[in-house]
Amino acid sequence: MEINSRQLGTITIIEVTGRMDAVTAPAFDKFFRERMTSDRLDFVIALNRLEYISSAGLRSILMAAKQVKARNGRLLLAGLSDAVAEVFNLSGFNTIVRICENEEAALQQLR
């Protein structure tokens, strides 16, 4: 798994590539915590390059969403691949975390 981030004003965009599973999810957790600061509470997590997500990966996304919500921030997911979208739909996570068609749509909602 590869994780990158960039800032667009106060919005942090995190791009995840590869597989998010029990082996790689702890790296995502650490990466996310390091980017969450008192002045950076709006996040877009771009998953269009994520090929696979396991229950451990879903847990990491859920924990990130809870951390952001506890600080009155906002977190949106963007651009889920078909395989990842199917996992979110089957698990019901699509009703827990806001999902946008692409990064631009997510940014528009946060502006």
**Sheet hosting strand 74-78, strand order edge to edge:** 2-8, 11-20, 42-53, 74-78, 98-100
The pTM of this model reads 0.93
Spatial distance between the Cα atoms of 13 and 103, rounded to a whole number of angstroms: 9
DSSP 100: E
Q: How confident is the model over 46-62, as pLDDT tens digits?
A: 999 999 999 999 999 99
All structural domains of the chain = 2-110 (3.30.750.24)
Q: How confident is the model over 60-106, as pLDDT tens digits?
A: 999 999 999 999 999 999 999 999 999 999 999 999 999 999 999 99
